[in-house]
Structure 1
C-alpha cells in the first residue's frame, strides 16, 4: 500500500456514465488524520448522503437536527444534512465521503426509517473503500467514476449487513453532553468544575468517565479546542494576540502565549507570522 494513503488528502473520482451516476456516485472522499479539536465543515445538498467514519479516535458529527459522538470503528450517515461539522475529539484517522444516487437510500431504507444512521464496525468498510480509491489515484490517472461507484456499492452492502447500533456504554450520554457543551461554549467555560456542575456530576466522576472514553481529560480537551480555534483566528491579518486570547477563552494574553507554546511549540507571534492568511474580517464563528 502506498505510504500516501494515510496522508491528509482530498480525492475526487471522475464522474461515472449517466446510467451509473443516477444509481450511485461517489463525488468526493477525504482522508483526514486530525488532532483533537480540529474541525471540518461542509454542506450537503439535496440528494447528498454524507458518510463519516472514525477509524481511530473519537469524532463528533453535527448538523441541523443530528448529533453523534463516534467511537473508533463507527460510521455515521447524514442524509441531505445542509451545513454540517465534524470535530475530532481525540487524535485519530477519519474519513468523509459524499454519496449521491438512488441506491444509497434504497440499500439503507430500514436504517433511515428508524433514524438510525450509526453503524458499529462501519469504519472498516469505509476505510477499505477509501484505501482502494487512494491506491488507484496513486497509480496515476485518477480514480475512474465507475470504479468509485462499484466500491461505494460494496461498502454500502457491508454497512447494510451490520447489526443495528445500540450504545452499551453507560458513560456515553454524559461524555456526549460534555463534548457538546465544550465545542459550543468553550470561550465562556470557567473550567471543568463549571462543566461538571452543569452536567450535575462531580468533577472527579466526569474526569474519570471522559478520560476513559476519549483518552484525554476534559480539561485537556477544552485547552485543545481553544488552541485550535486560536489558530484559526491567527490567520486573520488584522488580529491581535490580546483579542485572540480573549476570544478563545484564555484569561489573558500571557497565559494564552504560555499554553499556545506548550501545545504547538511556537509562540502566538511566531505562528501569526507563518500562518496562511484569511481575508481581513473573515473570522470563523466558534459554534457548531
Structure 2
C-alpha cells in the first residue's frame, strides 16, 4: 500500500516530442503541503491550463474572475486566468499540474465558465497523473516529455468522462454528519486507509455503529464503498499507457497484486489484464486528428 502523499514534491519533465510542441506539454506536476491558512500563488497565461486537486483538507482557489472552494477529491481547471492563489482552510495537501498548449482549451471548452471548470470527482484523475509521474522520475531521474504529455492527455479525458463515485451513494436524503465525514475520509484517503477499524476510530464511534448507520443511509456498507472506490480508481489507472499491475494495486490501496486481482475479478467479472485488453489505451495525442 502506498504511503500518504504528504511530502512536497515537484516533477519537471523533459521537453516533449516536437510534434506535440504547441499542442500539449506538461511542464510541472507538484504536491503542495499547506499549513492552516497557507497560500500558494500561480499564473496561467496564454494557452496555459493549471489543474489543481484537493487531496487532504479543503482549499479555496481564487482568480480575478471567480473563487471556488474544493473539498477533498474535487478538482478545478484554470485556463488562461492570469494570476491565481490557492489557500488551505486547515492543514491540507494539494496537487497542481501545469499544462501548456492548444489542446487543453479545446478539450475543456464545453466545461469552462469564466476560465474555470469544476470537477466534483476529478481529484482521482489529477492524483493518478502526479503519482505516475513521480514513480517515473524515481525510476528514470528525468521524465520523458512525451510520456508526460500522454499522462496529461489521459488526465484531461478522464476528467471529462471519468466514472463518478456519486452513483454509489445515490441522491436521496442528506447524509448525517457521521456518514458525510466517513464518505469524505474514504474519498480522500482510500489509497492508504487501513480499514473499518481505523475509520471508526477516527470518527470516534464503534465499528458496528458505523456499519449500521452508513448502510442504512447509503444502501451500501462502508467496507463495500471503500472497495468500490479503490476498484474505480484502479480502472482509471489501468486505462493509462502500459500500467504496472503491481503499481496499480498499491496506488489503489490494495495490499498486493494477487489480492487486487482477486477483488478486481469479483467486482468486474474479469482480471486486470483482461480489462486492459478490452479497454482502449490512451496514447499521446497526434497533431493531425486535432486540427478542427
TM class by smaller structure: 0.5 to 0.7
Using the alignment, how far apart are the partners of 1:56 and 1:67 within structure 2? 19
Using the alignment, how far apart are the partners of 2:114 and 2:49 within structure 1? 16
Q: 1:3: how far off?
A: 6.0
Moved more, 91-100 or 112-121: 112-121
Which residues of 2 match residues 34-73 of structure 1 at below 5 A?
A: 34-73=34-73
Contact 1:48-1:79 within 8 A present in 2 as well: yes
Which residues of 2 match residues 1-288 of structure 1 at below 5 A?
A: 6-112=6-112, 117-162=117-162
Using the alignment, how far apart are the partners of 2:79 and 2:163 within structure 1? 20
Report SS of the residue matched to 2:137. Answer: helix
> Number of paired residues?
173
Q: 1:64: how far off?
A: 0.6
Report SS of the residue matched to 1:52. Answer: strand
Q: Deviations over 1:37-60 (max 9, x none)?
A: 111012221111111100221010
Contact 1:49-1:99 within 8 A present in 2 as well: yes
Which structure has more RCO (C-alpha within 8 Å, separation ≥ 6)? 2
Q: What is the TM-score when the length of structure 1 is the normalising length?
A: 0.54
Q: 1:35: how far off?
A: 2.1
Unaligned segments of structure 1, at least 5 residues: 169-207, 216-288
Q: 1:5: how far off?
A: 5.6
Q: Deviations over 1:3-24 (max 9, x none)?
A: 6964201211111022112221
Q: Considering only aligned residues, what root-mean-square deviation do their CA atoms show, in Å?
A: 3.2
Report SS of the residue matched to 2:22. Answer: helix
Moved more, 107-116 or 49-58: 107-116
Give the aligned partner of residue 197 of structure 1: none
Q: Deviations over 1:193-225 (max 9, x none)?
A: xxxxxxxxxxxxxxx9xxx8xx9xxxxxxxxxx
Q: 1:144: how far off?
A: 0.8
Give the aligned partner of residue 193 of structure 1: none
Using the alignment, how far apart are the partners of 1:67 and 1:90 within structure 2? 17
Using the alignment, how far apart are the partners of 1:116 and 1:31 within structure 2? 21
Moved more, 130-139 or 13-22: 13-22
Unaligned segments of structure 2, at least 5 residues: 172-176, 185-292
Q: 1:142: how far off?
A: 1.4
Contact 1:120-1:162 within 8 A present in 2 as well: no
Q: Deviations over 1:104-148 (max 9, x none)?
A: 112112102686611011010100000000111111331110010
Contact 2:65-2:114 within 8 A present in 1 as well: no
Q: 1:2: how far off?
A: 7.5
Task: Classify 1:110/1:123 alpha carbon distance in 2 versus 1 (closer, same or farther; 3 Å).
Answer: same
Using the alignment, how far apart are the partners of 1:146 and 1:3 within structure 2? 27
